[in-house]
């Protein structure tokens, strides 16, 4: 294989890597947006474990965002994977908590396609872990790949998406303060609005 062909393949691999990372971040941002629509639009307040699942998804985004800000690195993949595993553990425990009908325990919120939020969280966590595994199999290591050029479409899209994720985190912070105050979180109503 000639040097030019090798360089072209390497460039293609980096572009694929950037597109894949952006797509993952967009999907998580969409999931978090849907959760916020359910909360503010339909009045379904998140339970404490649901809020921890949002924390986990934002943590996954942290690792993805670092790639575009400071260059691609396997360490960033590690941060995202850590939070993906945390999401899986929290979601499985919450699903098991309400899996058997008993007084005072039922799945919070309404079902989407027959599945409640904690079960969806398991699906999302498994999808994320699988997506990282597929990325490593197909694209390979990201170590050494530079962030996209400042004026490239990928860079602009990454900046918009990253700022959107940061905005989601800040809005959720404000929402948590209103819902929980500095104490324990409940789903009966917003603690500071009572």
Partner 1 sequence: MMAIIFATLSAALLVGWFGRRFFAIGLVAVALLLSIHLFLWEIHSPEYGFRMPWIET
Q: Which residues bind partner 1 (CB under 8 A)?
A: 48-49, 51-52, 55-56, 58-59, 61-62, 65-66, 69-70, 79, 82-83, 86, 89-90, 93, 96-97, 99-100, 102, 162-163, 165-166, 169-170, 172-173, 176-177, 180-182, 184-185
Least Cβ distance, residue 141 to partner 1 (angstroms): 20
Least Cβ distance, residue 93 to partner 1 (angstroms): 6
Cβ-based nearer residue to partner 1, 9 or 97: 97
Cβ-based nearer residue to partner 1, 38 or 90: 90
Pairwise CA distance, residues 65 & 48, whole Å: 26
Cβ-based nearer residue to partner 1, 16 or 170: 170
Least Cβ distance, residue 118 to partner 1 (angstroms): 13
Give me the DSSP letters along 137-194. HHT---TTPPPPPTTSHHHHHHHHHHHHHHHHHHHHHHHHHHHHTTS---SSS-GGG-
Cβ-based nearer residue to partner 1, 27 or 159: 159
Per-residue CA distances from 1 to 10, 60, 99, 141, 189 (Å) = 12, 37, 56, 21, 64
How does DSSP classify residue 100? S
Beta bridge partners of 105: 102
Cβ-based nearer residue to partner 1, 59 or 126: 59
Least Cβ distance, residue 42 to partner 1 (angstroms): 21
Least Cβ distance, residue 184 to partner 1 (angstroms): 8
How does DSSP classify residue 45? P
Pairwise CA distance, residues 183 & 190, whole Å: 12
């Amino acid at each position: 294989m000639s040097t030019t062909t090798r360089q072209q393949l390497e460039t293609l691999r980096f572009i694929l890597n950037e597109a894949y990372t952006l797509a993952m971040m967009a999907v998580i941002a969409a999931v978090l947006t849907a959760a916020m629509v359910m909360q503010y639009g339909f009045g379904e307040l998140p339970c404490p474990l649901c809020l921890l699942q949002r924390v986990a998804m934002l943590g996954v985004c942290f690792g993805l965002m670092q790639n575009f800000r400071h260059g691609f690195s396997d360490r960033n993949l590690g941060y995202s994977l850590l939070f993906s595993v945390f999401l899986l553990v929290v979601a499985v425990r919450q699903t098991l908590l309400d899996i058997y009908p008993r007084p005072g325990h039922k799945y919070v919120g309404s079902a989407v396609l027959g599945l409640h939020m904690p079960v969806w969280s398991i699906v999302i966590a498994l999808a994320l872990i699988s997506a990282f595994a597929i990325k490593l199999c197909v694209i390979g290591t990201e170590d050494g790949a530079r962030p996209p050029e400042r004026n490239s479409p990928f860079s602009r899209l990454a900046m918009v998406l990253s700022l959107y994720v940061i905005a989601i985190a800040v809005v959720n912070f404000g929402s948590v303060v209103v819902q929980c105050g500095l104490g324990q979180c409940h789903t009966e109503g917003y603690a500071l609005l009572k």
